[in-house]
Amino acid sequence: DADACPVKEEIYKVAERRGARVRSVHLPGLRRAIAMWATAMSTAADKPYAEILGNGTPLRMRDVLREFPRAAMGRSDYTLPSLGLCVLERLTKDLPVDHDGELEATRRVRAEILSLLGDRGVLLYPSHPRVAPKHRTALYWPVQWGYTAAFNVLELPVTQTPLGITDDGLPLGVQVVGAPGNDHVTIRVALALEEAMGGWVPPPRLFR
């Protein structure tokens, strides 16, 4: 997606100048990011997620639905993804959901990425399908926050890297993903990219 990483070619040039071998890869398994995340959250504990979120007392569906607009305005004690998972849990309660199949699919995606990374490799992946969404709007559409949720579920270290700004003054960035235990590798790559491409730039001063 060209819009997801408008500085892709510049990143490639920086990496090649520093002696890195760069290639594009196709990872169709990451399209299942939301399913992987929902399954991981649903199977992470013996208790229903609604009970965990309610601190021992399961949240009623009417309470969950009441919290949605509050969460959208940043006034809820719960996040939109957590409330969405409560709804998903209720809707799929009586359905024959293949959790084992989803978990196996997650393991296959993880194994594929680890095979690509090797001992010292990194994966550069967009942080979002659009440049600089407005605050909280990234939570409204699951396919968007799935870009970052995927690597949480896959338990891979990620360093988010600022890469300067667009001509319109919007911040750019990319995720640097590494193998387990290679946080130091993702951080070093992130620092090199940040230094070469402008890094974090303060927002412009606004005058009213």
Please write the tens of the pLDDT for every residue from 58-107. Answer: 889 999 999 988 987 888 988 887 888 788 777 766 656 677 888 899 99
Please write the tens of the pLDDT for every residue from 21-47. Answer: 888 888 999 988 888 877 887 777 677
Q: What contacts 33, CB < 8 A, 6 or more positions away?
A: 143, 146, 147, 149, 150, 153
Cα within 13 Å of Cα(189), Cβ side: 25
**Biggest CA pair distance of the chain:** 57
**pLDDT surpassing 90 at residue 167:** no
Q: Are 1 and 129 in contact (CB under 8 A)?
A: yes
pTM: 0.76
Residue 1 pLDDT: 47
Please write the tens of the pLDDT for every residue from 189-201. Answer: 999 999 888 888 8
* CA distances (Å), origin 61, targets 84, 93, 98, 141, 174: 11, 13, 23, 21, 37
pLDDT higher at 65 or 19: 65
Residue 193, Cβ density class (10 Å: 0-12 exposed, 13-18 middle, ≥19 buried): buried
Mean pLDDT in residue range 165-185: 89
Q: What's the chain's average pLDDT?
A: 83
When mean pLDDT is compared across 107-116, 132-141, 163-172, the lowest value belongs to 132-141
Please write the tens of the pLDDT for every residue from 145-164. Answer: 788 889 999 999 999 999 88
Q: Are 16 and 193 in contact (CB under 8 A)?
A: no
Please, which pLDDT band fits residue 182 given cuts at 50, 70 and 90? very high
Residue 142 pLDDT: 59
Q: What is the CA radius of gyration of the chain?
A: 19
